[in-house]
Structure 1
Amino acid sequence: MQIAESVENQVTILAVSGRVDSSTSGALDESLQAAIVKAGSLVVDFSEARYISSAGLRALLKAAKAARANGRRLALCGLSPLVHEVFDVSGFSSLFEIHADRGEAVSALA
């Protein structure tokens, strides 16, 4: 898994690529927590992520709670059908603001 950080229209974007699983979820958690502290709004772009495990979902849930506690907005975008299915089956789709692509997510949060 790799994470690239960028900023568009004052929205921080973390672009996640590869597999988010038990061996990589710690790095995702660290990146999310650091971005929440310094960012006003945060988009996590999963357009290049091909898999997410329960460990990855746990990192996202922790980030969502931290974002709310800090008055920040967090949105997800670019979920592949497989990743979106994991969110749907786990019930996480209702916990996150999910957009089709990065442009839509940035526009919603800017």
Structure 2
Amino acid sequence: MSIPRILFAIPLLVAGAFLPAAGAEPPAPPSGDVGMAHETFTTDVITIHRGETLTLVNNSRWAHIIGPGQDGTLTDADAVPMHMRVMTETNDSYTTPPWNETGTFYLTCSMHPEMTVKVIVTD
């Protein structure tokens, strides 16, 4: 009796998504940027001024899918300029469009529900 090939492929796909790549540690994000470690942002809260952008930098070996929302649940938020989901892999960065509305907003990672950063936009 032969073993179906799919039984070999599934564990390899899962391992690729959830095991970090080998190699040197990725560099820390530049000052003022929000870094992403394995299951956390490098800060819980960031304050920016209206009209500014926000840069998210993946300084881990893990993939992240970032978008508006909290606790891993992505939602649509009209005031958040990030209307699409962004997948970041090692050393990837994403700069949002300008934040034009004041208030408190949240960005989260759908792959790591404990990753949520509060973005406070002031005048």
Given the two structures, how large is their TM-score scaled by the length of structure 1? 0.31
| Higher gyration radius (CA) | 2
Q: Name the one with the larger helix percent.
A: 1
